[in-house]
């Protein structure tokens, strides 16, 4: 067995190395000459031998224990090793018949690696088995945990770089084991790849003693096993023992939990694997230590095409694998083949990583109409109902969880905010997962909760990605300002999704869904630090047809949009809405129409043949806009206005991505030439960049939004400071009414002065009383 492992690793190391260097003479049938070497050497060698060592050993363990395993690679720059294994195990040729497992296929794989219009240099969605974009380090462990949720038979082995180990997201992800109930979930087997170095220096973990590392991981709740290639007399034997022990521990824990005899928090195994970086390559070159040093991180002997010493070193190294003994151009040597698991057990073709049936199942969704409020404002009714969008969503989500309880395929990720964000109705049907000791007074917490609460947005996002990419459904609900913490992760996921959507063998997956609440407009109590609507910017900047940002102005629109998000596939959706009660503006049917298109003219606030257009996106900005229209109607009855509600923006346009407002439709909403005032939930620039593409006379538009003016103040003062309040908007309409000749200059001046005085009075009032006056807080719509 050990000989087989050695030979497998030799073959995989060779296959990884030739991808980085060669454009010809792939089997070294001739002496290595400059023309065989790629002009640009792009790739990372140092991490590859450790990956191959691990992959080979996992293949052995998969067969020995009949494991269903998937592999999450942290250092995705080790992609040559992944590709080598996919080629070797035959997965690559199954998914890509143009890459047969032959000498010709190998030439294509190697020649096309890191080549324009060939293969990328890092792990990517075109590679079978991959569920993590290789690039931005730190997210592997959380992703692996996401994959095993509700997959009781699955083991996700996660290889974590020791440089990656220094990242914040990785540091916090170790705690995720405290959320994993072994009775109903699979297991993650973390392997810390301690090759001692990152790009240009030693890693902290690499210089920590075994005692320090053991204490650290024991404290996290794991049982560490150290495999040390530096001191071991039998590194294969040690790794085999470590894996066998780990698998036995996982199975024992799961067995106890499943038969109800687990009494203590489980101690999951993890492995610390010490190997030299760039293992078995070039010990020294130009008087510099290469192997077992950071110098092996990327391309070694990097001048091989032009410098003879480098070329000789490269050739000697490549020949040291004696690849001709391992592959005859048609088949790998028998021992190597024997290490390749049966097709359905190969990590590269693990079905969970592919999306689609049988692991993906659309959710059973209750009818939205059971949750919408019929207490719509008839809009002249001063007691028209006020409903919380988030409470409505909470009720809907509770019932989605109920209806899909048996399928066990939806999860809520929350950074300690399920209560705060007002969706705690879900606790009528489930709890928060927690495996560590509980106290009698703990509430809504149990081992098998479907809500994952942890104060790490990074870990929650990683969990969600792993869960969704393995065919399930979920959402992350966050304070709006702190969603920014994962903006970069969302960006990486969007890259993965963009490519994955065009890979034919990647099946259907659910959308990645966010709800951003506790928004800046109602963070008047927490203040400036909590006021940041910027997360949506990164999402909207993608020129794509799979990103949507919803701005429901009331609870009926919110629950309609939410149902659509849960129904949608392969999108990234963000909904921004508040948790406090607000008026209901739209009936169930109107809400359905509005959300379908993402933009609508609201008749009750619209006059024929308007002098100007008001538009808004977002709940509080909409309330202020309608209040402004109401004021202007009373002050200048002859002035005609149209109101346009924007309930969705998408990557590259106004409206929902499926029904984006086209250039020729733009005037249907905004007229050809009238003045337009848009009151926006987020930064004004966000909507300005969208308007630019619609062309026309952009000067007739003015956009108001969050101007980075915030503090601890009153709710209405937050609006005033950013000029999105009813009084500022009304004053702009007065000026337009004057320009349109509806009122005289004198009338316009008088009105302006009246409303400036109202603003001054409001300011004086809140300084004296500490809160908004009731006529603002209890405002209701009046049409005339
Ligand atoms: C978040 C992030 N920061 C920085 C980098 C740049 N980077 C690429 S590889 C690397 C070192 C990784 O070291 P390690 O995790 O030990 O990987 P290995 O030694 O296995 O190559 C760094 C810093 C990155 N990819 N991601
Ligand atoms: Mg390292």
Q: What is the pLDDT of residues 704-728, one digit of tens each?
A: 999 999 899 999 999 999 999 999 9
Report the range of poorest mean pLDDT among 77-81, 424-428, 463-467, 529-533: 529-533
Average pLDDT over residues 134-152: 97
Between CA 561 and CA 598 the distance in angstroms is 10
**Res 381 pLDDT > 90:** no
Closest CA to 605 of 642, 569, 571, 632: 642
For 314-324, what is each residue's pLDDT tens digit? 999 999 999 99
Please say if the pLDDT value at position 529 is more than 70: yes
State the pLDDT at residue 695. Answer: 85
Tens of pLDDT, residue by residue over 391-420, are 999 999 999 999 999 999 999 999 999 999
pLDDT digits (tens, 9 = 90+) for 252-300: 999 999 999 999 999 999 999 999 999 999 999 999 999 999 999 999 9
Distance CA 359, CA 733 (A): 55
Average pLDDT over every residue of 73-94: 97
Residue whose entry in the numeric block shows the structure tokens 């992800």: 173
Query: Three-state DSSP class for 596?
Result: helix
Best residue among 53, 74, 137 to mutate for probing ligand 1's pocket (most ligand atoms within 8 Å of CB) is 137
Q: Beta-strand (E) ranges in 35-77?
A: 68-73
- Protein residue closest via CA to atom 14 of ligand 1: 163
The pLDDT, as a whole number, for residue 98 is 96
**Which residues are near ligand 1 (CB < 6 Å)?**
46-47, 75, 77, 135-138, 161-164, 167, 193, 195, 197-199, 203, 277, 297
- 229-252: average pLDDT: 98
Q: Is the pLDDT of residue 383 over 80?
A: no
Give the tens place of pLDDT for each residue, 652-661. 799 999 999 9
Average pLDDT, rounded, for the chain: 96
CA-closest candidate to residue 73, choices 344, 458, 353, 360: 353
Which residues, in sequence order, are bridge partners of residue 490?
A: none
CA atoms of 655 and 666, how far apart (whole Å): 11
Q: Is the pLDDT of residue 382 over 70?
A: no
> How close is the Cα of 84 to the center of ligand 1, in Å?
21
Q: How far apart are the first and last CA of the chain?
A: 86
Q: How many CB atoms lie within 10 A of CB 709?
A: 14
Q: Work out the pLDDT band at 160, boundaries 50, 70, 90.
A: very high
**Residue of the nearest CA to atom 9 in ligand 1?**
199
| pLDDT value for 782 | 82
Among the bound ligands, name the one nearest to the CA of residue 137.
Answer: 1
């Amino acid at each position: 067995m050990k000989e087989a492992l050695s030979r497998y690793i030799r073959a995989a190391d060779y296959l990884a190395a030739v991808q980085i260097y060669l454009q010809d003479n792939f089997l070294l049938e001739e002496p290595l000459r400059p023309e065989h070497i790629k002009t640009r050497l792009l790739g990372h060698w140092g991490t590859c031998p450790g990956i191959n060592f691990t992959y080979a050993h996992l293949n052995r363990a998969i067969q020995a224990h009949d494991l269903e395993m998937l592999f999450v690679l942290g250092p995705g720059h080790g992609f040559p090793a992944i590709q080598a294994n996919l080629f070797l195990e035959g997965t690559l040729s199954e998914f890509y018949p143009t890459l047969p497992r032959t000498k010709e296929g190998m030439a294509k794989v190697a020649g096309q690696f890191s080549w324009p219009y060939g293969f990328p240099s890092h792990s990517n969605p075109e590679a079978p088995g991959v569920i993590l974009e290789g690039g931005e380090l730190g997210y592997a462990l959380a992703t692996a945990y996401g994959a095993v949720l509700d997959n009781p038979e699955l083991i996700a082995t996660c290889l974590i770089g020791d440089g990656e180990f220094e990242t914040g997201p990785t540091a916090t992800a170790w705690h995720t084991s405290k959320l994993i109930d072994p009775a109903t979930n699979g297991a993650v087997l973390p392997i810390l790849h301690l090759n001692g170095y990152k790009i240009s220096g030693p890693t902290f973990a690499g210089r920590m003693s075994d005692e320090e590392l053991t204490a650290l991981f024991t404290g996290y709740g794991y049982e560490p096993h150290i495999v040390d290639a530096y001191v071991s007399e039998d590194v294969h034997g040690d790794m085999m023992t470590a894996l066998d022990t780990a698998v036995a521990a996982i199975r024992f824990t799961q067995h106890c939990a499943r038969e109800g005899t687990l009494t203590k928090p489980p101690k999951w195994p993890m492995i610390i694997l010490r190997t030299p970086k760039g293992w078995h390559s070039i010990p020294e070159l130009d008087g510099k230590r290469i192997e077992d040093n950071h110098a092996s991180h990327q391309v070694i002997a990097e001048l091989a095409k032009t410098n003879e010493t480098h070329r000789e070193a490269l050739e000697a190294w490549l020949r040291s694998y004696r690849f001709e003994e391992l592959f005859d151009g048609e088949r790998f040597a028998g021992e190597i083949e024997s290490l390749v698991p049966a097709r359905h057990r190969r990590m590269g073709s693990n079905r969970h990583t592919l999306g689609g049936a049988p692991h993906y199942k659309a959710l059973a969704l209750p009818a939205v109409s059971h949750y919408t409020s019929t207490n719509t404002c008839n809009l002249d009714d001063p007691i028209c109902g006020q409903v919380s969008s988030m409470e409505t969503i909470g009720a809907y989500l509770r019932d989605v969880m109920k209806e899909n309880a048996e399928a066990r395929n939806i999860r809520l990720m929350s950074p300690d905010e399920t209560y705060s964000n007002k969706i705690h109705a879900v606790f009528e049907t489930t709890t928060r997962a927690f495996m560590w000791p509980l106290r009698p007074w703990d509430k809504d917490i149990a081992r098998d909760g479907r809500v994952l609460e942890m104060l790490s947005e990074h870990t929650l996002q990683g969990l969600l990605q792993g869960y969704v990419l393995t065919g399930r459904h979920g959402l992350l609900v966050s304070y709006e300002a702190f969603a920014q913490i994962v903006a970069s992760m969302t960006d990486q996921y969007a890259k993965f999704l963009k490519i994955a959507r065009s890979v034919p063998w990647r099946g259907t997956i659910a959308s990645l869904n966010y709800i951003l609440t506790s928004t800046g407009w109602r963070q008047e109590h927490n203040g400036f630090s909590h006021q940041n609507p910027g997360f949506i910017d990164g999402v909207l900047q993608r020129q794509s047809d799979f990103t949507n940002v919803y701005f429901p102005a009331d609870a009926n629109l919110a629950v309609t949009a939410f149902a659509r998000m849960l129904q949608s596939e392969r999108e990234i959706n963000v909904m921004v809405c508040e948790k406090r009660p607000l008026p209901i503006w739209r009936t169930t049917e109107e809400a359905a129409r509005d959300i379908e298109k993402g933009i609508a003219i609201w008749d009750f606030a619209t006059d024929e043949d308007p002098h100007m257009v008001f538009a808004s996106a977002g709940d509080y900005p909409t309330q202020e806009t309608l209040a402004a229209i109401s004021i202007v109607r009373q002050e200048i009855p002859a002035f005609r206005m149209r109101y346009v509600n924007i309930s969705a923006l998408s990557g590259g346009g106004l409206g929902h991505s499926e029904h984006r407002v086209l250039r020729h439709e733009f005037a249907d909403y905004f007229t050809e030439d009238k003045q337009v005032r848009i009151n926006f939930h987020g930064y004004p620039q966000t909507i300005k960049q969208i308007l630019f593409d619609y062309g026309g006379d952009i000067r007739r538009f003015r956009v108001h939004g969050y101007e980075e003016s915030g503090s601890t103040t009153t709710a209405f003062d937050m609006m005033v400071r950013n000029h999105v309040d009813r009084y500022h908007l009304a004053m702009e309409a007065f000026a337009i009414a004057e320009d349109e000749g509806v009122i005289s200059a004198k009338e316009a001046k008088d009105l302006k002065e009246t409303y400036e005085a109202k603003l001054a009075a409001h300011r004086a009032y809140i300084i004296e009383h500490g809160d908004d006056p009731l006529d603002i807080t209890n405002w209701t719509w009046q049409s005339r």
